[in-house]
Structure 1
Amino acid sequence: MLRSTLKMRSSISPLLSLRAMSAAAAPSPSSTEVAAASKATQLSSIRTTDNTVNVLKSVHRTYELMPLQEKIVINDILQEVQKADWKTMTLDEKKAAYFIAFGPYGARRPRQTTETSRRILYSMACCFFTVGIVWNVLRYFRAPPAITSTHEYQAMENEWMRERNINPITGVSSEEGKKGDGMINSGMFPKWFP
């Protein structure tokens, strides 16, 4: 990794000298035309060097690791190359320009990778499995239900309430015949729930 980074930096040194030369040029009209012509010839010579081709091939891997000055130089070179016809650009230049414009780096880096999603899924599955085991163990060792919670006992309570005429207006012993269950409680869970 370090060796490839050093090789990349040595390959960018012509690019950095180009940036320094373009920054040192005076903004007078005649010198800008001369500077543009020399910059175009230098760009054409830089485009053909093997070092620049290697940098453009690996720009998707090394762009985030590059210093800001090298990023600026690569951006300037690609902007100059893109001013010409796109048919004359090499495939590596097109890929580098597309990566710099739309690549997943900086703010466009995805927040979650597939590995992160797998870890979340596995941890959720382990949590559900653990909760299921704890639930079943607690239900196995629980105390038996209270006598008053059985269906038979609650039906006997309803009969006892009818015999004694308890709550004759709206209750079980009302003359209109309440349609509710009275003291029979279905409980928190349905009857089919284990």
Structure 2
Amino acid sequence: MYRQSLQRLAIRSQSTVAKSVPRPLSNAYVSKLESRWTALPKEDQTSLIESLKSRMELPWQELTPAEKKASYYISFGEWGPRKPLYGPGDQAKVVYGVVGGIVVSIVIFAGIRSVAPASPTTLNRQWQEASDEYLKSKNANPFSGYSQIQ
């Protein structure tokens, strides 16, 4: 008896009768998905993805054009991680922000430079030449050649 029931199950699973084919989704459900996708609740998004997955298991010739567009948008559209970081008008904001930052830094630098005292006397040319002569006379700094015999 147990063997007969297993045989019947095996025959039913191998039958050539067409299995239930998922029905086409309505055009109102999948059309213009690009404009509606972000406003759809998360549950509706997941149910739409699952129903499109089951439809995409069929040959692509059986899909309606609206289903093809919807599946393409869900797979490759600009939503979720593929959403662009910047909108259409954000490029100008970035450019103006960078230029403004550079101008502000130049103004701050010029302001600090105008308030600062005059440069020290150790930075003029005569002082540097005198310090070089002094170092040569003391044979200092062997790495640059003052103590090398010529």
The answer as to 2:36 corresponding to 1:36 is no
CA distance in 2, matches of 1:84, 1:157: 88
The answer as to 2:60 corresponding to 1:86 is yes
More displaced 10-residue stretch of structure 1: 82-91 or 128-137 = 82-91
Equivalent in 106, 125, 128 of residue 132 of structure 1: 106
Say which SS state the counterpart of residue 36 (structure 1) adopts: coil
Pairwise CA RMSD of aligned residues? Answer: 3.8
CA distance in 1, matches of 2:123, 2:34: 69
* Residues 77 and 150 of structure 1, relative CA distance in 2, 3 Å threshold: closer
One-letter code aligned to 1:178:
Y
* Residues 151 and 76 of structure 1, relative CA distance in 2, 3 Å threshold: closer
One-letter code aligned to 1:95:
K
Say which SS state the counterpart of residue 20 (structure 2) adopts: helix
Any unmatched runs of 5+ in structure 1? 1-28, 181-194
* Count of residues paired in the alignment: 128
The answer as to 2:106 corresponding to 1:110 is no
Identity %: 16
* 1:92 CA drift (Å): 1.6
Any unmatched runs of 5+ in structure 2? 1-11
The answer as to 2:146 corresponding to 1:178 is yes
CA distance in 1, matches of 2:40, 2:128: 78
